[in-house]
Amino acid sequence: MDKFFFVSLLSFLLAAHGIVGNMMYDNIAMLQELESLDIEEENEIELSEIPSWRSERGGKVLVNVDSFGAAGNGESDDTEAFRKAWNISCATPKSVFLVPQGRIYLVNATKFIGPCAGNIIIQIDGKVVAPDEPKNWDPKLPRVWLVFSKLHKAVFQGSGVIDGSGTKWWAASCKKNKSNRCIGAPTALTIDSSSAIKVKGITIQNSQQMHFTISKSNSVRIYGVKVSSPGDSPNTDGIHISESINVAIQDSQIGTGDDCISIVNASKNIKMKRIFCGPGHGVSIGSLGKNNSTGLVSKVILDTAVFKDTTNGVRIKTWQGGAGYVRGVRFQNVKVENVSNPIIIDQFYCDSPSSCQNQTSAVEISEIMYQNISGTTKSAKAIKFDCSDTFPCSNLVLSNVNLDKLDGTVETFCHSAQGFGYGVVHPSAQCLNSNDQISQIKASITQDIIHHTEL
Ligand SMILES: *[C@@H]1O[C@H](CO)[C@@H](O)[C@H](O)[C@H]1NC(C)=O
Ligand SMILES: *[C@@H]1O[C@H](CO)[C@@H](O)[C@H](O)[C@H]1NC(C)=O
Ligand SMILES: *[C@@H]1O[C@H](CO)[C@@H](O)[C@H](O)[C@H]1NC(C)=O
Ligand SMILES: *[C@@H]1O[C@H](CO)[C@@H](O)[C@H](O)[C@H]1NC(C)=O
Ligand SMILES: *[C@@H]1O[C@H](CO)[C@@H](O)[C@H](O)[C@H]1NC(C)=O
Ligand SMILES: *[C@@H]1O[C@H](CO)[C@@H](O)[C@H](O)[C@H]1NC(C)=O
Ligand SMILES: *[C@@H]1O[C@H](CO)[C@@H](O)[C@H](O)[C@H]1NC(C)=O
Ligand SMILES: *[C@@H]1O[C@H](CO)[C@@H](O)[C@H](O)[C@H]1NC(C)=O
Ligand SMILES: *[C@@H]1O[C@H](CO)[C@@H](O)[C@H](O)[C@H]1NC(C)=O
């Protein structure tokens, strides 16, 4: 069906039936906005392929960690060599911070801080590994491993691997063993307080906890990144976006033990394109609103994704309590395969060892569109909208959704959820409450049909 069909239909009915009102116009405007929601991508700056570390063409200054005493044998501590190389590289215009191919570098938790002289390239062709013993981790940096901060116009690229050596951290997690104390573990790679960043081709794997966090940044483009951890590794989110705007992730393959991509507070203009997720917990907005906090997320697009053997497909999760909003989201062209909750909004999210109480306040969810989503679900509730009693979800729009279960029937679950479906919607979107304007239109359509049948 033409994607503007419903909008045209509404406009037509509006004219034909004279159902005019500001609220009606608001609805049409909302739909039009959702359907045409796009996030501007900057003109593609050519990602400079550095031919190889032997080459010094192109006016680039190679700063090779090996020249600063890195052993690259996977056993010697190369942290100091990395720090020295960073200092020189960062201070040199047009430099390439090079981690050469074919070797393994053991590096402790380190902050690589800018601003740098300009146009730095971080070329990771070799493998960087973290020390694997949680007990020896630097107590001053308990939640991070490799942090890049305050960079402007930097490119991360290469065929290399960043490996968090997470096995012992996972075993020490309270998610794995209830008798363990719940403490946070490091994020493998963090890009923080930066702008105009490109990341291309790197593999991040076996992180202690989250794999790749983008925080407090503006304009970050991620292409062809691979994230990989076992499906049962605890809290190992793939790419986590926090307090950032204008972030695009595309052509990336993510398999982890938690969310493939998670988007949290103060994030806006986030675009994900051609994403493969599995195993993992799907693509999530949230969690938001924990401990009565404010969560603000708007303008998010996921376009073209495959979810395979994941617990969720597209999810929005908020805790009870809290304030703020999630609004202006479009999930489209999604294929799910053997997924437990292909489409889910959960406003009763509780991921805490003690149980959570219901509250009256909530992060408000509105203007969420699901378009062209199909495939197989593992649970009967293929679509689940479980919303706050005090702030119902509003303007949830489903169009061309077709979800089936291999054995048995599927259904849509709604609690305190308002919206509508058009085109094919299976299981049916009937349980969504329509607001007055939509009901009026629906009644008009029905009347028309009765009228015509009588004639
Ligand atoms: C790198 O530069 C910072 C700031 O100038 C300095 O504090 C630090 O000692 C330097 N580290 C190395 C390894 O040279
Ligand atoms: C790396 O961490 C280990 C274990 O805590 C420590 O012994 C070593 O000194 C650290 N290396 C550097 C360069 O800080
Ligand atoms: C959980 O941790 C406790 C205490 O460290 C240990 O005795 C027990 O064997 C662990 N259980 C599992 C299933 O690993
Ligand atoms: C979320 O972001 C807003 C706006 O930046 C801020 O006021 C609020 O404190 C943030 N909430 C949390 C939980 O960090
Ligand atoms: C959140 O606020 C509610 C209402 O003020 C209060 O009852 C509840 O204890 C608060 N929750 C937390 C985790 O602080
Ligand atoms: C919850 O928020 C309150 C007030 O901001 C803070 O004092 C408390 O430490 C927070 N609790 C947790 C578990 O984060
Ligand atoms: C479905 O996914 C589960 C993991 O959630 C996996 O164990 C199972 O093998 C998958 N089934 C099929 C038919 O692929
Ligand atoms: C619907 O989504 C699937 C899966 O991404 C895609 O292959 C197909 O082209 C989409 N259909 C339309 C009409 O865009
Ligand atoms: C919270 O509210 C939901 C929806 O009204 C209800 O299903 C659930 O039982 C409540 N939970 C608690 C702990 O009261």
Q: Can you tell me whether residue 177 is helix, strand or coil?
A: coil
Residues 23-60 as b/e (b if ≥16 CB within 10 A, e otherwise) read ebeebbebbeebbebebeeeeeeeebebeebeeeeeeb
CA atoms within 13 A on the CB side of 187: 19
Mutate to test the pocket of ligand 1, among 68, 80, 83, 87 (most ligand atoms within 8 A of CB): 87
- 47 alpha carbon – ligand 3 mean position (Å): 48
- In short, whether 433's Cβ falls inside 6 Å of ligand 7 is no
Counting the structural domains of the chain, the total is: 1
State how far the alpha carbon of 220 is from the alpha carbons of 40, 213, 259, in Å.
12, 11, 19
User: How many angstroms separate the CA atoms of 384 and 411, rounded?
Assistant: 9
- In short, whether 179's Cβ falls inside 6 Å of ligand 3 is yes
Q: Which residues contact 278 (CB under 8 A, 6 or more apart)?
A: 255, 260, 306, 307, 308, 309, 310, 337
- In short, whether 108's Cβ falls inside 6 Å of ligand 2 is yes
Whether 200 maps to a domain, the answer reads yes
Q: Which ligand is nearest to the CA of 108?
A: 2
Whether 348 maps to a domain, the answer reads no
What was the pLDDT predicted at 40? 67
Domain span holding position 164: 57-176+188-258
Residue 372 alpha carbon, nearest atom of ligand 8? 1
Whether 219 maps to a domain, the answer reads yes
Mutate to test the pocket of ligand 8, among 276, 369, 372 (most ligand atoms within 8 A of CB): 372
Residue 83 alpha carbon, nearest atom of ligand 1? 13
- 84 alpha carbon – ligand 1 mean position (Å): 7
Q: How far is CA 325 from the centre of its chain?
A: 17
What was the pLDDT predicted at 15? 54
Residue 292 alpha carbon, nearest atom of ligand 5? 1
Whether 371 maps to a domain, the answer reads no
Residue 333 alpha carbon, nearest atom of ligand 8? 2
The answer to whether residues 304 and 275 touch, using CB atoms and an 8 Å cutoff, is yes
What was the pLDDT predicted at 22? 52
- In short, whether 354's Cβ falls inside 6 Å of ligand 5 is no
Token pair listed for 411 = 């259904």
Neighbours of 221 (CB within 10 A): 21
What was the pLDDT predicted at 406? 87
- In short, whether 203's Cβ falls inside 6 Å of ligand 2 is no
- In short, whether 80's Cβ falls inside 6 Å of ligand 2 is yes
Q: List, for the chain, all residue ranges whose pLDDT scores fall below the cut of 70.
A: 1-28, 40-58, 435-455
**Using CB atoms within 10 A of its CB, is residue 138 exposed (0-12), middle (13-18) or buried (19+)?**
middle
Q: Which amino acid is at 236?
A: T
- Residue closest via CA to ligand 8's atom 10 equals 333
Residue with the two structure tokens 């675009």: 271
Whether 253 maps to a domain, the answer reads yes
Whether 212 maps to a domain, the answer reads yes
Q: Which ligand is nearest to the CA of 257?
A: 7
The residues that are catalytic are: 281
Whether 412 maps to a domain, the answer reads no
Mutate to test the pocket of ligand 8, among 2, 301, 304, 336 (most ligand atoms within 8 A of CB): 304
What was the pLDDT predicted at 20? 44
- Residue closest via CA to ligand 3's atom 10 equals 177
- Residue closest via CA to ligand 5's atom 13 equals 291
What was the pLDDT predicted at 261? 98
Residues with CB under 6 A from ligand 9: 358, 389, 415
User: How many angstroms separate the CA atoms of 421 and 387, rounded?
Assistant: 17
What was the pLDDT predicted at 53? 46
Bridge pairing between strands 73-77 and 203-205: unpaired
User: How many angstroms separate the CA atoms of 209 and 165, rounded?
Assistant: 10
- Residue closest via CA to ligand 9's atom 4 equals 389
Whether 278 maps to a domain, the answer reads no
What was the pLDDT predicted at 433? 84
What was the pLDDT predicted at 4? 47
State how far the alpha carbon of 298 is from the alpha carbons of 211, 271, 324, in Å.
23, 11, 10
The answer to whether residues 338 and 378 touch, using CB atoms and an 8 Å cutoff, is yes
Residue 326 host element (H or E): strand 323-339
- In short, whether 77's Cβ falls inside 6 Å of ligand 2 is yes
- In short, whether 3's Cβ falls inside 6 Å of ligand 1 is no
CATH number at residue 129: 2.160.20.10
CA atoms within 13 A on the CB side of 81: 19
How many helices (H) and strands (E) in the chain? 5, 30
